[in-house]
Each structure stands twice: as structure tokens, then as C-alpha cells.
């Protein structure tokens, strides 16, 4: 069953350039039945959002900054989120912000049984990321967008290649998740591996490393091997993965040397 999602956007904290791609991404996880964006719409820095709101049916919520140095937008979003939670109209939330102030909100929503997705920039602090079920970096959506002239001007100083490297830490995360689920022969179902990795590290996404899916990412790492198996319940083949056994070849070499 499709999740009914409440999408709450921190307009002061998220660039407007990729709202279309962002909404398309959100639609992969559920039906965004409530879509609201918060900010002080009297300020010129939010003017770029206005046409995009009409195109994507997002409701703007006016929030004046009553005190210098205090973010009134955060408070408005949190109050609305709790009102929506108790209305029982949705079973999931998408919090769009790079602000760690929403960490407690994400935690509280999950405690209430809500599925919580986060979207923000790579500068987002870890506490907010791990408080979500899944966290998507907005940078990976930029590669799919067609920038307008104004957006090109805005992003001239941004680095073109924002793909992360597959580090030993990432390889250890995948390897440990395979080990947790492996059968006696070391094989684990890739779908379950992906779900476990997501639980361990909510911001894990194959697109962060330049791959559209987890399968090609794992294929690119020499430490793992993949096997396709017939699916008796459907046409799509089942994909299994395991760590390559390096010890066997090393043991064989040492035995050969011992005989000499």
C-alpha cells in the first residue's frame, strides 16, 4: 500500500532550483497528500520559489521572523507536523531541510510509528540524518535536472563532480550487512542486504557513488560476487551476493610452498 506522505519544506534552508526533481523523488516512496513550505514570503530571497509552488501544488505558509537570530520557520514546521500527526491523515513524513533542529521532530514522528524520509544537502549534520528512516542528498538530484539560466548562474561556483568515492568504510558496511544475512554458503539476498544497509546508515544511496542501483555498485567492488537465480514466483531473477573467499587461494598457495 502506498504511504500517504506529508511533505514539509524548510524554505529558508533548501534551494529552489531542484524542487521538480525533489517531488519526483518523493513520489517514489509514497503519495504526497500534504505539501507545505515554510518561510517569510516578504523576503526577496524566497521569490524564486513562487512560480514553482504553483507548478507543484505546494502550499506556502507565511512565517514572520519575529526575533533576529531565531528561526521561526522551524517552530512553525514542528507545530504543523504534530498537528498533522494527531490528525491521522498520513502515515509518513518527508522533512526537507539541512537543519539539525529537526532531529527531535524526526525521532518523535518515528516513535509514533511514522515512516520518516529526510531530504537535504550534504552539509546536513549526522544527528538529523540518522533520526530518519531514509535520508536523500539533494545533490544527487542535481545531476538529473535541467538548469535554467538563473540556476546556472547560482551554481557556477559549485563543483561539477559531486560523486563520492567508495571508501573502505563503505565496503565494510556492505560486507557486514551481507554477513548478518548470509546462509551457510555465505550468500545473502540483495534486497534484504539493501534494506539492512538503509537501517544501519539512512543516507546510504548508490547514486551517491555514481550508480543508479545497488547491484552495479556492488559489481564494481572486487570484494563481492553476485549470482542470479531463477524466481519461481515471477519473471524477474533473484539476485544474491556474497563476499569473495580470499582465504582459500592463500591457503592453497601456502600448502604448495610447504610441499616444496
Which CATH number belongs to the domain containing residue 174 in this structure?
3.30.420.610
Instruction: Mark whether 13 and 112 lie in a shared domain.
Output: yes
Question: Are 92 and 119 spatial neighbours (Cβ–Cβ below 8 Å)?
Answer: no
From 127, 126, 224, select the one nearest 170 (Cα to Cα).
Answer: 224
CATH number at residue 70: 3.40.50.1010
Last residue of a domain, one of 100, 128, 154: 154
Domain membership of residue 210 as a residue range? 168-254
How far does Cα 18 stand from its chain's mean position? 15
pLDDT at 30: 92
Query: Residues 25-66: pLDDT tens digits?
Result: 999 999 999 999 998 888 877 778 887 888 888 998 887 765
pLDDT digits (tens, 9 = 90+) for 90-119: 999 999 999 899 999 999 999 999 999 999
Q: What is the pLDDT of residues 194-226, one digit of tens each?
A: 999 999 999 999 999 989 899 999 999 999 999
Same-domain status, 103 and 68: yes
What's the whole-number mean pLDDT along residues 247-255? 47
Residues 142 and 172 in one domain: no
- Please report the pLDDT score of residue 1 as a whole number: 57
* Same domain membership, residue 173 and residue 150: no
Q: What is the reported pLDDT for 54?
A: 83
Q: Are 103 and 171 in contact (CB under 8 A)?
A: no
Question: Is residue 62 located within the same domain as residue 177?
Answer: no
Please count the structural domains in the chain.
2
- Are both 135 and 198 inside the same structural domain? no
In this prediction, residues 164-173 reach a mean pLDDT of 91
Between CA 59 and CA 67 the distance in angstroms is 24
In a domain, 161, yes or no: no
Amino acid at each position: 500500500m502506498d504511504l500517504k506522505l506529508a511533505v514539509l519544506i524548510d524554505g529558508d534552508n533548501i534551494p529552489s532550483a531542484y524542487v521538480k526533481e525533489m517531488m519526483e523523488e518523493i513520489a517514489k516512496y509514497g503519495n504526497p497528500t500534504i505539501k507545505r513550505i515554510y518561510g517569510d514570503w516578504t523576503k526577496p530571497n524566497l521569490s524564486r520559489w513562487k512560480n514553482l509552488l504553483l507548478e507543484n501544488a505546494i502550499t506556502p505558509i507565511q512565517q514572520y521572523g519575529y526575533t533576529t537570530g531565531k528561526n521561526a520557520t522551524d517552530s512553525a514546521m514542528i507545530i504543523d507536523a504534530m498537528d498533522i500527526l494527531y490528525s491521522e491523515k498520513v502515515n509518513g513524513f518527508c522533512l526537507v531541510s539541512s537543519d539539525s533542529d529537526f532531529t527531535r521532530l524526526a525521532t518523535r514522528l518515528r516513535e509514533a510509528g511514522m515512516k520518516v524520509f529526510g531530504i537535504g544537502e550534504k552539509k546536513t549534520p549526522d544527528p538529523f540524518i540518522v533520526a530518519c528512516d531514509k535520508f536523500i542528498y539533494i545533490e544527487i538530484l542535481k545531476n538529473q535536472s535541467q538548469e535554467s539560466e538563473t540556476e546556472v548562474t547560482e551554481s557556477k561556483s559549485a563543483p561539477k563532480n559531486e560523486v563520492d568515492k567508495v571508501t573502505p568504510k563503505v565496503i565494510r558496511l556492505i560486507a557486514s550487512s551481507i554477513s548478518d544475512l548470509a546462509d551457510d554458503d555465505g550468500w545473502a539476498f540483495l534486497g534484504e542486504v539493501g534494506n539492512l544497509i538503509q537501517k544501519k546508515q539512512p543516507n546510504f544511496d548508490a547514486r551517491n557513488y555514481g550508480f543508479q542501483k545497488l547491484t552495479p555498485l556492488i559489481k564494481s567492488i572486487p570484494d563481492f560476487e553476485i549470482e542470479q537465480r531463477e524466481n519461481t514466483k515471477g519473471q524477474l531473477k533473484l539476485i544474491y551476493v556474497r563476499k569473495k573467499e580470499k582465504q582459500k587461494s592463500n591457503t592453497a598457495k601456502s600448502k604448495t610452498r610447504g610441499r616444496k
